Amino acid sequence: MKLICFLFFIPFILFSQNENQFLTSQKDIFIEQNNQGKFGIVNSKGVVLVPIVNEYIKELWQGGGFIVYEEITVDGPDYKEGVIRFYDKNIKDLFGRTFTRINNAGDNTLICYDKNLCGVYKKTGEIIAPICFSEIVSLEGKLFWFYVDASLRGSLSTILSSKTISENKLPLNVNIADLDGYNLFQGVFNQDGVLVCNGQFRIVEIITYDGNNSLFAVQNQKLFMENDGETNFAIMNGSGELVSDYIYSEVIKIDGQIIGEISTETELKRVPLNNQGIPIK
């Protein structure tokens, strides 16, 4: 299970009056490249708004702002990493800091990385979730699935409401593969940075995603530990409500149909579920 957030960008269109300038969606605003191959942003009067010293600049789809790569250390096919700033459509450096990677995450949000940790920011400058997560997936910018260090299980709600995290609580910059596979912490928060479920889940698998109509298969950390790793999944909706007991060994989709699998000593029973996670009779 993993959704991939793709970046969608406006293609550069050559500006006929200056072969080193490229049109943007903003009136009288151009991306300019100098003879040394560096990029900046200028207006129609030639005033430099972003110094022409950067490795690359991309404009987000539908005038969502500009991602400015001061340096590029990883030049991948789907994303770039390095020293990166975000400028809004008014060419303002909203966050006043650099990131190592920025993903477009919906009409109004960005997932911003500092090395291996990430958080969610609004394109208007506000923080939705501070940088402390190992992974975040945007569900159309309405909900956000997350994977975070289990040490934050009891404090994450406070961290999200305060929009900050103290240095002594900040998880190590480690890859997900290095995290403890026994004591895990996954969950979902909304576009206001509010948890839609408490910190009781070790695994949250995305079944469908459509705001509050989303469905997730969730595994409870406490039950997992009490049963020495033997526990089932329940179904949770996008509001954080459990719509089933912990009865499913797995929840899958086959040809668009949601199936809950119930394992017994003698058989594997497959239960078709509707879009609310309720068994179809």
Whole-number pLDDT of residue 83: 96
Task: Compute the average pLDDT of residues 209-217.
Answer: 87
Q: Work out the number of other CB atoms within 10 angstroms of the CB of residue 136.
A: 24
pTM above 0.75, yes or no: yes
Phi and psi angles of residue 270, each rounded to the nearest 5 degrees, phi first: -105, 120
Q: Tens digit of pLDDT for each residue in 58-70? A: 999 867 899 999 9
86: left (phi over 0), alpha (psi -120 to 50) or beta: beta
Residue 152 — left, alpha, or beta (φ > 0 → left; ψ -120 to 50 → alpha)? alpha
Residue 16 has pLDDT above 60, yes or no: no
Residue 234, pLDDT > 70, answer yes
101-106 long-range CB contacts below 8 Å, 24 or more apart? Answer: 102/67, 103/5, 103/7, 103/79, 103/138, 104/5, 104/6, 104/7, 104/8, 104/60, 104/61, 104/64, 105/5, 105/136, 105/138, 105/141, 105/144, 106/138, 106/140, 106/141, 106/142
92-149: per-residue pLDDT in tens?
A: 999 999 999 999 998 899 999 999 899 999 999 999 999 999 999 999 889 999 999 9
Distance CA 271, CA 135 (A): 31
Which has more pLDDT, 238 or 11?
238
First to last CA, the chain: 28
Report percent pLDDT > 90 for the chain: 69
pLDDT tens across 25-34, in order?
A: 899 999 999 9
The whole-number pLDDT of residue 14 equals 42
Whether pLDDT at 177 is above 60: no
Question: Which pLDDT score, from 0 to 100, does residue 168 have?
Answer: 79
Q: Given a cut of 90, is residue 265 above it in pLDDT?
A: no
Residue 194: the pLDDT is 95
Q: How confident is the model at residue 176 (pLDDT cuts 50, 70, 90)?
A: low
Angle at 157 between CA 152 and CA 162, to 5 degrees: 105
